[in-house]
């Protein structure tokens, strides 16, 4: 029956307030109250107003007292706006579990190098540059992003948002990798030499992802870097993947990738939009 021809009687309203109606009738009355001003006025005297106010106050306090995730709190402390901090805090690869996994992987890689006496640098040189790459890949896969619906309806352009998350991932994992590198036997410069390929592979990944998506892009980059590191296990010196000649190549790849990203953005293509 329509709200124009029917109104809930006092007994029905009292039963609704007391929670005595079955789910079907309760939902029906609730739907009617949402549309009928007269019944809303009739039910008001039956409701314990102070208790209702206390309930709403408790709900509001609970919602407002929720602590922001750690990445969001850190971002707020360095001056990032709260909306941007919240979006950063939802990044999968900025959560404690992911960062902890990255640190554990680096620790195992360093341990493997240490146990070899520095003769096998491949475990560390393989893992260290890939940690930020995989973190960036996990940061902007639309299928996995819990805030994808929010992102596409906000003024944040996807490209800007991806670059912001990329910076967040690099800031969160690179310091751990540098510290881990200080513990590997061999020249001190090895602690930072891996940054060359790492900082090159990230734009390479992003350029590839604008064509094939982050998952495929991450797979291609991982296989390519593994192929580059593999010869250092037997065919070339252990430091070969991060020596000066190779660093020049990495810088060239990074430059080309940045040009590709610029061209793609000028074409109004969205980074990570290809699935």
Query: Residue ranges of the chain with pLDDT lower than 50?
Result: 1-3, 143-144, 269-275
Residue 268, C-beta contacts closer than 8 angstroms, at least 6 positions apart: none
Going by C-alpha positions, the residue among 122, 272, 124 that lies closest to residue 205 is 272
Do 169 and 93 contact (CB within 8 A), yes or no? yes
Q: What is the mean pLDDT of the chain?
A: 77
pLDDT recorded at residue 262: 82
The whole-model pTM stands at 0.61
pLDDT digits (tens, 9 = 90+) for 75-95: 667 676 666 666 666 665 566
Q: How crowded is the C-beta side of 83, counted as CA atoms within 13 Å?
A: 6
The gap between the terminal CA atoms of the chain, to the nearest Å, is 48
Number of other residues whose CB lies within 10 A of the CB of residue 48: 10
pLDDT digits (tens, 9 = 90+) for 220-258: 999 999 999 988 888 888 888 988 889 999 999 999 999
Going by C-alpha positions, the residue among 134, 102, 138, 105 that lies closest to residue 225 is 134
Going by C-alpha positions, the residue among 136, 142, 106, 159 that lies closest to residue 222 is 136
């Amino acid at each position: 029956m329509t709200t124009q021809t029917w109104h809930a009687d006092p007994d029905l309203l009292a039963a609704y307030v007391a929670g005595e109606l079955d789910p079907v009738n309760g939902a029906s009355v609730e739907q009617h109250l949402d549309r009928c001003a007269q019944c809303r006025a009739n039910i008001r005297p039956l409701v314990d107003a102070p208790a209702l106010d206390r309930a709403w106050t408790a709900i509001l306090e609970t919602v407002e007292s929720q602590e922001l995730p750690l990445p969001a709190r850190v971002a707020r402390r360095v001056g990032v706006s709260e909306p941007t901090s919240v979006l950063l805090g939802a990044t999968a690869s900025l959560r404690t579990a992911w960062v902890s996994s990255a640190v554990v992987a680096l620790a195992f890689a360093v341990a493997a190098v240490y146990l070899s006496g520095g003769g096998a640098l491949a475990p560390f040189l393989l893992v260290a540059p890939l940690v930020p790459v995989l973190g960036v890949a996990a940061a902007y896969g639309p299928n996995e992003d819990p805030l994808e619906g929010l992102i596409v309806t906000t003024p944040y352009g996807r490209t800007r948002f991806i670059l912001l998350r990329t910076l967040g991932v690099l800031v969160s994992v690179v310091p751990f990798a540098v510290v881990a590198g200080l513990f590997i036997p061999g020249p001190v410069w090895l602690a930072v030499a891996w940054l060359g390929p790492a900082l090159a592979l990230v734009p390479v990944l992003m350029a590839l992802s604008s064509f094939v998506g982050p998952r495929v892009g991450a797979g291609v980059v991982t296989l390519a870097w593994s192929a580059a590191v593999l010869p250092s296990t037997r065919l070339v010196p252990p430091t070969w993947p991060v020596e000066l000649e190779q660093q020049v190549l990495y810088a060239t790849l990074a430059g080309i990738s940045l040009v590709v990203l610029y061209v793609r953005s000028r074409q109004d293509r969205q980074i990570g939009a290809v699935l």
